[in-house]
Amino acid sequence: AQSVTQLDSHVSVSEGTPVLLRCNYSSSYSPSLFWYVQHPNKGLQLLLKYTSAATLVKGINGFEAEFKKSETSFHLTKPSAHMSDAAEYFCVVSGLSGNTPLVFGKGTRLSVIA
Amino acid sequence: NAGVTQTPKFRVLKTGQSMTLLCAQDMNHEYMYWYRQDPGMGLRLIHYSVGEGTTAKGEVPDGYNVSRLKKQNFLLGLESAAPSQTSVYFCASKEMRISYNEQFFGPGTRLTVL
């Protein structure tokens, strides 16, 4: 069985400061990991994905995440927050098997203060 | 190329009424999924399909039925709506390649059951 734990339900940062959204996963085999972003009243957009290639994954809008197998973590970071980054972020895990459904974390709401 | 579309965008039902949500994708994807999103719960899988004519239960299937008569369409039905089914519903699709597990999401349907 697979599971995802997002360690913070809400993170607040000042504009221009670094962003860290934490995610731990549990998987009985080598997982695929994703971060999705959801802006208010919008659908989900893929930020980045890890699929057993490079452990440091770069995504859109300056976000990146590092897969750390020893820590079972896949934290999302960004060097400098922008007001437009305010949104809900979901960490997601899936096995490499083609028909394995995604398992979502409960989400982290990021607020950016001017 | 519209991607994944959902109809309708909003709906209000009375308890006991029935309705069908339509999901359509034009990417020739084999796999399709229905999720519901509730505050603080992330997205939870209701039902999914790994091909035309096939369906399977997800994490929260009770009170819902689905059909996949055509590859491009995935229907979610509520036979007798209950207030507990008030939620935002997302459809997603994915291609079949084992090494590529990204799901593409529709814009969502906001359903209120009174």
B6-59 tens-digit pLDDT: 999 999 999 999 999 999 999 999 999 999 999 888 899 999 999 999 999 998
pLDDT at residue A106, rounded to an integer: 93
Mutate: best of A50, A100, A102, partner B, most B CBs <10 A: A102
User: How far, in Å, CA of B113 to CA of B84, rounded?
Assistant: 8
pLDDT of residue A22: 98
Gyration radius from chain B CA atoms: 13
- Rounded to the nearest angstrom, the gap between the alpha carbon of residue B33 and the centroid of all alpha carbons in its chain is 6
* H/E segment holding residue B74: strand B73-78
DSSP letter string over A28-41? Answer: SSPEEEEEEEE-TT
- At residue A8, the pLDDT reads 95
**What's the residue count for chain A?**
114
CB contact under 8 A, B101 and A46: no
pLDDT value at residue B31: 92
Question: Is B93 or A52 the better-scoring residue by pLDDT?
Answer: B93
Element spanning B11, H or E: strand B10-13
Hey, what are A16's tokens?
């221009």
Greatest Cα pair distance, chain B, in angstroms, is 43
Nearest to A49 among B90, B96, B102 (CB): B102
Interchain CB distance below 8 Å, B42 and A101: no
Which candidate, A48, A13, A18, places its Cα nearest to that of A33?
A: A48
Q: What are the tens digits of pLDDT across the range A24-45?
A: 999 877 788 999 999 988 889 9
CA angle, residues B1, A47, A82, in degrees to nearest 5: 115
Distance from CA of A102 to the nearest CA of B (A): 8
